[in-house]
Amino acid sequence: MKIHEYQARQLFRKCGIPVPEDVLCYTVSEVEKAARDLNRMVVVKAQVLVGGRGKAGGVKLARNVEDAVSAAKQILGMDIKGYKVEKVLVADAVDISKEFYVGLINDRNSKTVTLMASSEGGVEIEEVAKENPEKIIKFHINPLTGLLDYQARDIALQLFGDIKIAQKATSIFKKLYKLYVETDATIAEINPLVLTPDNEVLAIDGKMNFDDNALFRQPEILAMREPDEDELVEIDAHSKGLSYIRLDGNIGCMVNGAGLAMATMDMIKLYGGEPANFLDIGGSSSPQKVIDAMNILLNDKHVKAVMINIFGGITRCDDVAKGLIKALEVISTDIPIVVRLSGTNAAEGLELLKQTNLPTVSSMSEAAQLAIELSNNLIFTPHK
């Protein structure tokens, strides 16, 4: 789960990491008031759940209230990588001597929370990693001890040189680690962490993501969720035991298992089609799950054909067939549906499907090819 920068700043403040003053605004007049109240140079920053806001023109420096108003007019409503900007943060633009980077991630290889820090702040850390990997300090934190004082201090000293300043940064690193572990985060980044001319260390931008698997014990984090339209469909699907992600193509697919679902999408693409979605109905599939899944697929206006690919293990093919038959009783559709059932109770499932006239095939490659063919036919003969 992702949160906005303004929410990350709230979490930082709460745990004692120094963050400049800011105001969240939804309208130009709110921005005008905020800039007037702050009464100094401000930054107007688009609040969208996607990176690269600066490059897209979503972050602007404003010397006075007029500047802030004109920045707000440009940024509010703009589109950043498909996300519409509905709110901006008006933040105190502090004077900066130097920019740094500090971030925490879960490292898959060392199986630890890993702290990354760099004197190259303010740019994307991936770029630093590519161009100047030696400029990134990486430290694997022992989960049994947590980040210790001397470890954090050592890293801070490498970045800041001066011990008095380093001690301020040490405190920030430790607070960030505590926040990270306590909130089940999967990334916590301060970029940039800045040094001001009067030797203050401040977080002026923040990013945090959280572990979906841990949201059950993080009610405070869950309350921060602001899903967009696509995510609402995904969350609704999730509540029905389905894992669904909308894509740009027109072949809807329904599969059991995430790996097989990805392989199905890949196969559609391999044969020249475009998958409309990723949809995993999960391990034990009751007929109801199949009905819910078909509802999602057939309600997607872009879907021109559906490919059902089931390899029964725990999932029983006859359950899938029953669900499918029920679904088609409730939902009337002209969209062609190709079915491939294999594995547990496939013969029983295929027998049940005989009453439906749905085309059935025995391999996933045949299913993909037929679904693509039928999706094309539908475009040429819409009244079929």
Partner 1 sequence: MSILVNKNTKLLVQGITGRDGKFHTGKMKEYGTNVVAGVSPGKEGLILDGVPVFNSVAGAVEATGANASIIFVPAAFAADAILEASEAGIELVICISEGLPIQDMIRITPILKQNGTLLIGPNCPGLITPGESLVGILPANIFKKGNIGFISRSGTLTYEVVNLLTLNDFGQTTCVGIGGDPVAGLYFIDLLERFENDPETIAVVVIGEIGGDAEEQAAQFIAEKMTKPVVAFIAGQTAPPGKRMGHAGAIISSGSGTAAEKIAAFNRAGVPVAKEPNEIPELLRQKLQNR
Which range of residues in 53-61, 149-157, 192-200, 263-271 is near partner 1 by CB under 8 A? 263-271
The 346-365 site mask, x for binding partner 1 (CB under 8 A), equals -----------------xxx
Which range of residues in 25-33, 150-158, 313-321, 324-332 is near partner 1 by CB under 8 A? 313-321
C-alpha 208/C-alpha 67 separation (Å) is: 29
Which residue shows structure tokens 């009905």?
291
Among 148, 232, 258, 347, binds partner 1 (CB under 8 A): 258
Among 61, 163, 235, 314, binds partner 1 (CB under 8 A): 314
Q: Which of residues 2-61 bind partner 1 (CB under 8 A)?
A: none
Amino acid of residue 111:
K
Q: Which of residues 317-336 bind partner 1 (CB under 8 A)?
A: none
Among 16, 52, 77, 143, binds partner 1 (CB under 8 A): 143
The 69-108 site mask, x for binding partner 1 (CB under 8 A), equals -------------------------------------x-x
Smallest distance from partner 1 to CB 169, Å: 24
Active site residue: 5, 6, 101, 120, which one?
A: 101
C-alpha 324/C-alpha 322 separation (Å) is: 5
Q: Does 132 bind partner 1 (CB under 8 A)?
A: no
Question: Who's near 191: CB < 8 A, 6+ residues apart?
Answer: 101, 102, 103, 121, 122, 125, 205, 206, 207
Half-sphere exposure of 96 (CA within 13 A, CB side): 16
Which range of residues in 61-69, 90-98, 206-214, 319-327 is near partner 1 by CB under 8 A? 206-214
Is 121:100 a contact under the CB 8 Å cutoff? yes
Among 111, 299, 329, 351, binds partner 1 (CB under 8 A): 111
Q: Does 286 bind partner 1 (CB under 8 A)?
A: no
Closer Cβ to partner 1, 21 or 226, answer by number: 226
Give the number of residues in contact with partner 1, rule: CB under 8 A. Answer: 52
Is 294:331 a contact under the CB 8 Å cutoff? yes
Active site residue: 6, 189, 234, 244, which one?
A: 189
Q: Does 123 bind partner 1 (CB under 8 A)?
A: no
Q: Extract the tokens encoding 239.
A: 């509540």
Closer Cβ to partner 1, 43 or 276, answer by number: 276
Which range of residues in 58-66, 115-123, 275-283, 288-296 is near partner 1 by CB under 8 A? 275-283
Task: Please spell the DSSP secondary structure of 31-77, one letter per residue.
Answer: HHHHHHHHTS-EEEEE--SSS-TTTTT-EEEESSHHHHHHHHHHHTT
Please state the φ and ψ torsions of residue 364, each to the nearest 5 degrees: -70, -30
Smallest distance from partner 1 to CB 235, Å: 13
Q: Any idea what DSSP says for residue 249?
A: S
Cβ burial, residue 69 (10 Å; 0-12/13-18/19+): middle
Q: Does 181 bind partner 1 (CB under 8 A)?
A: yes
Q: Extract the tokens encoding 120.
A: 């190259």
Which range of residues in 36-44, 171-179, 265-273, 286-294 is near partner 1 by CB under 8 A? 265-273
Which residue shows structure tokens 């947590």?
146
Which helix H or strand E contains 182, and what residues bound it? helix 163-182
Please state the φ and ψ torsions of residue 55, each to the nearest 5 degrees: -60, -35
Name the pairing type of β-strands 206-210 and 251-255: unpaired
Catalytic, 180? Answer no
C-alpha 42/C-alpha 107 separation (Å) is: 36
C-alpha 82/C-alpha 383 separation (Å) is: 33
C-alpha 140/C-alpha 114 separation (Å) is: 4
Smallest distance from partner 1 to CB 311, Å: 5
Closer Cβ to partner 1, 20 or 121, answer by number: 121
Amino acid of residue 258:
A
Among 286, 344, 356, 376, binds partner 1 (CB under 8 A): 344
Which range of residues in 5-13, 85-93, 267-275, 328-336 is near partner 1 by CB under 8 A? 267-275
C-alpha 211/C-alpha 183 separation (Å) is: 9
Q: Extract the tokens encoding 304.
A: 């021109």
Which helix H or strand E contains 24, and what residues bound it? strand 22-25
Closer Cβ to partner 1, 77 or 143, answer by number: 143
Catalytic, 200? Answer no
SS3 of the chain: helix, strand, coil, percent, to 5: 40, 25, 35
Residues within the interface to partner 1 (CB under 8 A): 106, 108-109, 111-113, 126, 142-144, 181, 184, 186, 211-214, 216-217, 243, 245, 247, 255-263, 265-270, 275, 278, 280, 283, 311-315, 342-344, 363-365
Q: Which residues form the catalytic set?
A: 101, 189
